[in-house]
Amino acid sequence: MLERIYDVVVAGGGPAGICAAVEAARCGAKTALIERYGCVGGNLTQGYVGPLLGGTCAGTMSEEIARKICPVPGAVPDFEWAKDALTDMLADAGVDVYLQQTLVSVEREGDTVRSFTADGKCGPIRFEAKVYIDATGDGDAAYLAGCPFEMGRAGDRLVQPVSFMFIIQGVDENQPLLCEHEEHHTDLGDGREYLDLCHRACATGELPKNVNIVRLYKTAYPDERMVNASQENYINPFDPADLFRAEVSLRRQTAQIVAFLKNNIPGFANIRVKGSSTTLGVRETRRILGDYVITVEDVAAGRLFDDAVVHHAGFCVDIHNPDGPGQSEFVDKRPTIAGAHDIPFRAMTPIGVNNLITAGRCISGTHEAMASYRVMNICFAMGQAAGAAAAIMTANGIASTRALDVHAIRDHLKMRGVKLDA
């Protein structure tokens, strides 16, 4: 078995993992990033997910990334640009990136993680480090390390549905139609209202049964829209049979959604699919239990924490209905807007291990709270904080996250320009 030794090893090359690895490497830590796909970016590139949603305080790495990948501010990123820009960020920071490598085991001795092992075409590679970061989205590393977790909503344990995102091309440039949320009402100019049209098409079967809104987002190009509409419910994202069932259904839904737009929307008659995600858009899986569990009450109240490493995280409580169309609480209303809240470092430190940090949607929180902080701008900021913490630990010989003075992380982030006190 091949062996590699680093200061910091990050599992997962999506938004949180990229920022974690870049920040750790920029701080001087010898850093490796393990990624299961053939390019970095996760849902941002492979999943065609945009725009970059969620807000945080000023100065986080999300601003740097947005400048690199969004040709038009506020529009959907150019996903091909993103593949190049994110790869360059990692290379320029000096991160060793291991593509097409799947994390298969975690070696643990007492409360200390000793190694990650990933497998790929050249066989298994054992990675030894001082500090490890789980940015897999699914909490794979923490799960393999035996950390406790929760999954799904209370009661039936259903997770949010999976989706395919895609981009259509060929929209008449004189047609300005956008639809960004459940209350984005638009008069089509011929006596019809767009959202009402979507609801009626869902009821009659012209749209798939769980698709009662076809969201349309602006891209950098006037004849395009990014489409967020398809969804498949009752999927276990870890079950291969379920994954293929979802793949079949969502590909078929894509064709049905395109036909609906072509047949009903002025200026959409000549559209075609320009590109689509190459992996399922998974919104929710494991939530790794940490020293603090973020609640929806924390989110709604805009709670602040003394150990905050992400400040003023803000996004709606966006729970796509696990058991039908629309949102889980309201079928045709925009989800509740959350207060600008903090994410405490304690929510990123899994119970029972000393040198493992989580970042991204798999941090410690409830089903409802996770629905707010799971979006990309907040995940960028979490990843940056995790990378900073890991680098500080390695530079100072700190063996446990609980022995790390969180003010050292905060001071470092403020030195980087993050406005944690604003």
**For range 129-149, the mean pLDDT:** 98
Residues 98/129, Cβ–Cβ less than 8 Å: no
Query: Phi, psi at residue 50, to the nearest 5°?
Result: -160, 170
Asked if residue 414 has pLDDT above 90, the reply is yes
pLDDT digit string, tens, across residues 41-55 = 999 999 999 899 999
Q: How confident is the model at residue 142 (pLDDT cuts 50, 70, 90)?
A: very high
- Percentage of the chain surpassing pLDDT 90? 89
Higher pLDDT, residue 265 or 73: 265
**Cα separation, 118 vs 103, whole angstroms:** 4
Closest CA to 115 of 4, 232, 30: 4
Secondary structure class of 37 (helix, strand, coil): coil
Residues 406/417, Cβ–Cβ less than 8 Å: no
pLDDT digit string, tens, across residues 8-64 = 999 999 999 999 999 999 999 999 999 999 999 999 999 999 899 999 999 999 999
**For range 167-176, the mean pLDDT:** 96
DSSP track, 333-366: SPPPPPP-EEEEGGGGSBTT-SSEEE-STTSSB-
Residue whose tokens read 């601003």: 63
Q: What is the pLDDT of residue 337?
A: 64
**For range 327-343, the mean pLDDT:** 70
Q: What is the pLDDT of residue 320?
A: 86
**For range 401-406, the mean pLDDT:** 98
Q: Note the maximum CA span of the chain.
A: 68
**Cα separation, 291 vs 102, whole angstroms:** 28
Q: What is the pLDDT of residue 322?
A: 84
